[in-house]
């Protein structure tokens, strides 16, 4: 098998963010600068030879997750271990075994990669789903919000705590930009959930930004400090589920008419 065909197959796979086995022969032929029929003739009528040549070159032609998923997993590991500052396209590409060019093609650059990471690891999608089908009782609504927050903070790798760390250390940094871009979505879903409770007379009509801060502040603070508290104090903290219920009850008592 000619090396130029192997190189063309790898280049086409990186450009499309796919494994070699998933890349159409037409795209491989284009990368090689030949027609599809010429490529098939050189392969002997089947791509089996090409996949085997790629394997002999040290690359698995298929069976691995797509480049997009490998990149997101690699970025999450980097963020959880070293913080947002460690996430460069070069570092992610090296960890995901792909090229920076393929990441540019998939995400449009570092900010696009981080925006996708943000959407995956913060509770905004969970809150949006909750707002579309909210519980009837206020206790269930508030506890569901706290449970979504707790799950996001506990999710491994610990991306959300790293985002808060970057926010506290660099108010104008990457995390701040991501939060500013996503706060309207978070406030929209929380506003929907809380406004219905205000209209039902179960919550005082406080300004929504303050009511939201009153709600999420204690739980976010607890989840950020919880690992350090556990290390320092031992096994004395209640389980996260019990903490969620305690904070939910406290919020309802504080905000009730």
Domain borders along the chain are: 3-56, 67-108, 122-255
Whether residue 256 is predicted with pLDDT greater than 70 in this model: the reply is: yes
CB 10 within 8 A of CB 102: no
% of the chain surpassing 90 pLDDT: 47
Average pLDDT over residues 174-200: 90
Mean pLDDT across 181-198: 91
Of residues 75, 79, 76, 69, the one with CA closest to residue 89: 75
CATH topology assigned to domain 122-255: Tetracycline Repressor; domain 2 (1.10.357)
| Separation CA 60–CA 53 (nearest Å) | 10
pLDDT-derived band at 138, boundaries 50, 70, 90: very high
Mean pLDDT of 234-239: 89
Identify whether the C-beta of residue 104 lies closer than 8 Å to the C-beta of residue 68. no
Using one digit for the tens of pLDDT, what is the confidence trace for 140-159? Answer: 999 999 999 999 999 889 89
The pLDDT tens digits of the residues spanning 74-119 come to 999 999 899 888 899 999 989 988 888 888 888 999 989 998 988 8
Tell me, what's the pLDDT at 97? Answer: 80
Please report, to the nearest 10 degrees, the dihedral formed by the alpha carbons of residues 148, 153, 156, 157 taken in order: 130
- pTM score, whole prediction: 0.71
Same fold, 3-56 and 67-108: yes
Give 182-246 as a DSSP string: HHHHHHHHHHHHHHHHHHTTSS----HHHHHHHHHHHHHHHHHHHHHHHHHH-TTSPPHHHHHHH
pLDDT score at 121: 87
Q: 67-108: which CATH topology?
A: Arc Repressor Mutant, subunit A (1.10.10)
Q: What is the pLDDT of residue 63?
A: 59
Alpha helices in 97-173 (DSSP H): 100-107, 110-121, 124-132, 138-154, 159-169
DSSP letter at 85 equals: G
Question: Tens of pLDDT along 207-219?
Answer: 999 999 999 999 9
Contact 133, 192 (CB under 8 A): no
Share of the chain above pLDDT 70, in %: 98
Q: Does domain 3-56 have CATH number 1.10.10?
A: yes
For position 77, what pLDDT does the model report?
92
Largest CA distance in the chain: 79
pLDDT at 1: 65
What is the predicted pLDDT for the residue at 53?
85
> What integer pLDDT is reported at residue 150 of this predicted model?
92
Q: What is the dihedral of CA 183, 188, 190, 196, to 10 degrees?
A: 160
């Amino acid at each position: 098998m000619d090396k130029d065909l192997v190189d063309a197959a790898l280049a086409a796979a990186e450009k499309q963010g796919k494994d070699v086995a998933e890349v159409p022969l037409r795209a491989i032929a284009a990368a090689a600068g030949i027609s599809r029929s010429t490529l098939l003739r050189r392969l002997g009528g089947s791509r089996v030879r090409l996949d085997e040549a790629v394997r002999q070159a040290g690359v698995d032609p298929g069976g691995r997750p797509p480049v997009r998923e490998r990149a997101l997993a690699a970025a999450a590991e980097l963020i959880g271990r070293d913080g947002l500052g460690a996430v460069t396209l070069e570092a992610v590409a090296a960890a995901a075994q792909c090229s920076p060019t393929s990441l540019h093609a998939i995400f449009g650059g570092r900010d696009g990669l981080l925006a996708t990471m943000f959407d995956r690891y913060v509770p905004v999608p969970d809150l949006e789903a909750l707002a579309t089908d909210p519980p009837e009782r206020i206790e269930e609504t508030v506890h569901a919000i706290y449970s979504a927050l707790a799950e996001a903070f506990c999710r491994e790798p610990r991306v959300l705590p790293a985002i808060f760390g970057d926010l506290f250390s660099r108010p104008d940094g990457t995390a701040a930009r991501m939060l500013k871009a996503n706060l309207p979505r978070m406030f929209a879903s929380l506003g929907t959930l809380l406004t219905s409770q205000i209209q039902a007379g179960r919550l005082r009509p406080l300004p929504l930004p303050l009511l939201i801060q009153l709600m999420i502040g204690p739980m976010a603070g607890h989840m950020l400090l919880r690992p350090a508290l556990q290390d320092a104090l031992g096994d004395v903290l209640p389980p996260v589920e019990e903490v969620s219920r305690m904070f939910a009850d406290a919020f309802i008592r504080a905000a009730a008419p």
